[in-house]
Chain A
Amino acid sequence: MQTSLPLPNVTPEDLLLGLTLLAPVLVVIATAIVVLVIDLIITDWLSRRPLMWISALGLLGALGACALLWTGGYVGKTAFGGFLALDAFALFFQALFIVAAILVILSATTFANREEVIEAEFYVMVMLSTSGLMLMASGNELMSIYLALEVTSLSLAFLAAWNKRDAIAGQGLKSTEAAIKFFLLSAMSTSVLLYGMALLYGITGATTLADISRVLTGAPSPAALLSVTMLIAGLGFKIAAAPFQLWTPDVYQGAATPATAFFSVGSKAAGFAVILRIFNGALPSISPEWAVLFGVLAFITMTVGNLIAIVQTNIKRLMAYSSITHVGYMLIGLATTKGEGSSAVMFYLLAYTFTNLAAFIIITIMADYAPDDDIAGYTGLAQRSPLLALGLTVALLSLAGIPPFVGFFAKLYLFLAAIQAGSVGLQVLVIWALIMSAVSLYYYGRVIHAMWMRESLEPAPVRAASFSQGLALAASLVGVVLFGIAGRPFLDAAVSASTIFGR
């Protein structure tokens, strides 16, 4: 009987390296704590306004940290015994999450002002959630990934619950309902995910992805297949792939719009980051199987999302189904099992993030004008505010994949990658996806139609609630336009990031 296990030898340098690689995350967390503390000190809520800017600055600092790491030669380093990987892939996603968080925080002012309640928690939670997302992107080990995922899930559940406007206005209690739905389903999916991880651990005896892929070779055993299934189910929930997508519309609708925006981009992108990393990094030997699974899920997902979106009248639900559809497209990229597919998915996520944020920022602004976020409230927006109508039109067209916006390019890269995979099934899937894109133009077009082709019922002009909101909107719209036409550096980044998977 041994007395104890030999402990791994961890030097201070190792820890320091690890903390260095964690710097962006740490900056985010530190900012969150600073904001929390300031919030506790200040009692008069009006003076809390700078909290937003502090948060944004902190996040910018984190972005700067990312840039420093990028330029400082830290790319590709791992730390904590391989638990943490700061490769280009991770940095890509970390930067994306930080930008998304900045935009959400900047755009959330209307919302926060109207609450007239503690606003700091919102920023804090967004930032903590962001830290979870960033850790998901760079986690290279099941436990870390799992815990980071839980950080995200719990903070998102919090964000879903955060909308108290409904309660104040007596319109119903949608946000808590959204929160409980998200929370319970998230817990269910987590348990399934854990079961899958347990099986994976059982088969390989390892938890780091590198070790798993080293052990896992040859034809998969039933346990490996069951494990893959459960991982797909657990992570499919995060990205809202059918049939694990049912929470999405309800939660999107119920949550406060900025929270929804964060939901739609953050959780989804991180889910894809994790899927890309686990399936490409740990399970390449099972790729024929999971490729087929992702292909089937892609088909179901985009079909379901599109068809139900056709009959929606609430714009947030519409956006939810639209997001499901986009997940379906991206799953095609996963189904290619190729580096091109991965990089295309990454670029798609970039495109989707900016586009969706642009749309949601306008929906946030419109929350004051469109009761219950009904599409009917957007009637004649082009006359009430041509710029907002133009912005939303641009965003929706980008989502529909109409040039010259980034969504078009993203979709093309993705489908090109799928065609290049050279499988007939994928080609058919691409045709179907393109038909689905055509269909999607119908429901996006309905919003455009309401904005442009109908006379407004109310003549009052529509304005953004604050400067920061306008700034966030402008920034995301610039992204929507520029990343498409001048998207090459970003696509190159995605391509180089996906090379870590070695295929």
Chain B
Amino acid sequence: MDFLVPGLRHFLVLGSILFSLGMYGVLSRRNAIGILLSIELMLNGVNLLFVAFARYLTTQQELAGQMFAIFIITQAAAEAAVGLAIIIAIYRQRRTVQVDQLDLMKG
């Protein structure tokens, strides 16, 4: 039962799964906010990778992974703010936030 004991690869796999699920969400959700949510999911998957690496790896710079994760969270917040602002602006103009309806420009 040793393989059940969580090690580095467990976290990595979990992070990757979250990342791919997020990717699926990004590609399949129609609602722009839903896409934003999915992106957060992807970022969390990546964060998990960073933190897991920070714990398990041989390195001169301990905690670099955690620092990275912190900055990613920061960026996620900023991104969410700008993203939501754009979504709200779109909603004001078009009364929709479904991205597949936003195809004025193509070709």
A and B in direct contact, judged by CB atoms within 8 A: yes
Interface residues in chain A, defined as those with a beta carbon under 8 Å from any beta carbon in chain B = 5, 142-143, 146-147, 150, 154, 157-158, 161, 167, 172-174, 176-181, 183-184, 187-188, 190-191, 194-195, 197-199, 201-202, 205-207, 211, 249-250, 253-254, 317
Determine the chain A residues whose CB is within 8 A of the CB of B50 once the complex forms. Answer: 198, 201
A161 vs B12: C-alpha distance when bound (angstroms)? 37
Nearest CB of chain A from residue B22's CB, rounded to whole Å: 7
Determine the chain A residues whose CB is within 8 A of the CB of B107 once the complex forms. Answer: 317
Q: Do B63 and A173 touch across chains, with their CB atoms under 8 A apart?
A: no
Determine the chain A residues whose CB is within 8 A of the CB of B79 once the complex forms. Answer: 150, 154, 187, 190
Q: Do B49 and A198 touch across chains, with their CB atoms under 8 A apart?
A: yes
Q: Do B53 and A176 touch across chains, with their CB atoms under 8 A apart?
A: no
Does B21 belong to the interface (CB within 8 Å)? no
Determine the chain B residues whose CB is within 8 A of the CB of A143 once the complex forms. Answer: 64, 67-68, 71
Does B75 belong to the interface (CB within 8 Å)? yes
Q: Do B87 and A180 touch across chains, with their CB atoms under 8 A apart?
A: yes
Contact residue among B72, B87, B94 (Cβ-Cβ distance under 8 Å from A194):
B72
Known contacts A154-B79, A184-B32, A191-B19; decide if A202 and B39 are in contact (CB<8 Å): no
Q: Do A187 and B105 touch across chains, with their CB atoms under 8 A apart?
A: no
Q: Do A202 and B46 touch across chains, with their CB atoms under 8 A apart?
A: no
Nearest CB of chain A from residue B2's CB, rounded to whole Å: 22
Q: Do B105 and A177 touch across chains, with their CB atoms under 8 A apart?
A: yes
Known contacts A184-B35, A201-B53; decide if A142 and B46 are in contact (CB<8 Å): no
Known contacts A146-B71, A195-B46, A201-B65; decide if A154 and B78 are in contact (CB<8 Å): yes
Report the nearest B residue to A8, measured CB to CB: B61
13 contacts between A and B (CB under 8 A): A143-B67, A143-B68, A146-B71, A157-B82, A161-B86, A173-B90, A176-B93, A177-B105, A179-B89, A184-B39, A188-B39, A198-B65, A201-B50
Q: Do A173 and B94 touch across chains, with their CB atoms under 8 A apart?
A: yes
Size class of the contact patch on chain B: 35 or more
Nearest CB of chain B from residue A253's CB, rounded to whole Å: 5
Interface centre among A5, A179, A194 (most CB of B within 10 A): A194
Interface residues of B in 31-56 (CB under 8 A from A): 32, 35-36, 39, 42-43, 45-46, 49-50, 53
Interface residues in chain B, defined as those with a beta carbon under 8 Å from any beta carbon in chain A = 12, 15, 19, 22-23, 26, 32, 35-36, 39, 42-43, 45-46, 49-50, 53, 57-65, 67-68, 71-72, 75, 78-79, 82-83, 86-87, 89-90, 93-94, 99, 102, 104-107
Known contacts A180-B32, A180-B87; decide if A173 and B68 are in contact (CB<8 Å): no
Report the nearest A residue to B90, measured CB to CB: A176
A150 vs B79: C-alpha distance when bound (angstroms)? 9
Chain B contact residues: helix, strand, loop or mixed = helix
Determine the chain B residues whose CB is within 8 A of the CB of A206 once the complex forms. Answer: 59-61, 64
Nearest CB of chain B from residue A248's CB, rounded to whole Å: 11
- Tally of contacts, chain A with chain B, CB under 8 A: 124
Determine the chain A residues whose CB is within 8 A of the CB of B102 once the complex forms. Answer: 177, 180-181
Determine the chain A residues whose CB is within 8 A of the CB of B71 once the complex forms. Answer: 143, 146-147
A329 vs B19: C-alpha distance when bound (angstroms)? 33
Q: Do A187 and B49 touch across chains, with their CB atoms under 8 A apart?
A: no
A174 vs B58: C-alpha distance when bound (angstroms)? 50
Interface centre among B15, B32, B57, B64 (most CB of A within 10 A): B64
A199 vs B106: C-alpha distance when bound (angstroms)? 35
Known contacts A199-B49, A206-B60, A207-B61; decide if A180 and B99 are in contact (CB<8 Å): yes
Interface centre among B50, B75, B93, B99 (most CB of A within 10 A): B75
Q: Do B104 and A202 touch across chains, with their CB atoms under 8 A apart?
A: no
Q: Do A198 and B53 touch across chains, with their CB atoms under 8 A apart?
A: yes
Q: A174-B105, A207-B64 are known contacts; what are 19 more A-B pairs with Cβ within 8 Å? A: A150-B78, A157-B82, A157-B86, A161-B86, A176-B90, A177-B105, A180-B32, A180-B86, A184-B39, A188-B39, A190-B75, A195-B46, A201-B50, A201-B65, A202-B12, A202-B49, A205-B57, A205-B61, A211-B61
A161 vs B89: C-alpha distance when bound (angstroms)? 9
A5 vs B94: C-alpha distance when bound (angstroms)? 53
Determine the chain A residues whose CB is within 8 A of the CB of B46 once the complex forms. Answer: 191, 194-195, 198
Q: Which 6 A-B pairs have the closest CB atoms?
A: A205-B59, A198-B49, A191-B42, A250-B105, A202-B53, A194-B46
A249 vs B19: C-alpha distance when bound (angstroms)? 28
A183 vs B79: C-alpha distance when bound (angstroms)? 9
Determine the chain A residues whose CB is within 8 A of the CB of B36 once the complex forms. Answer: 184, 187
Determine the chain A residues whose CB is within 8 A of the CB of B67 once the complex forms. Answer: 143
Nearest CB of chain A from residue B101's CB, rounded to whole Å: 10
Q: Do A176 and B86 touch across chains, with their CB atoms under 8 A apart?
A: yes
Q: Do A183 and B83 touch across chains, with their CB atoms under 8 A apart?
A: yes
A184 vs B79: C-alpha distance when bound (angstroms)? 10
A5 vs B90: C-alpha distance when bound (angstroms)? 47
Interface centre among B15, B57, B62, B72 (most CB of A within 10 A): B72
Determine the chain A residues whose CB is within 8 A of the CB of B12 once the complex forms. Answer: 202
A421 vs B94: C-alpha distance when bound (angstroms)? 52
Determine the chain B residues whose CB is within 8 A of the CB of A201 once the complex forms. Answer: 50, 53, 64-65, 68
Interface centre among B12, B23, B83, B106 (most CB of A within 10 A): B83
Nearest CB of chain B from residue A449's CB, rounded to whole Å: 21
Nearest CB of chain A from residue B92's CB, rounded to whole Å: 9
Determine the chain A residues whose CB is within 8 A of the CB of B93 once the complex forms. Answer: 167, 173, 176
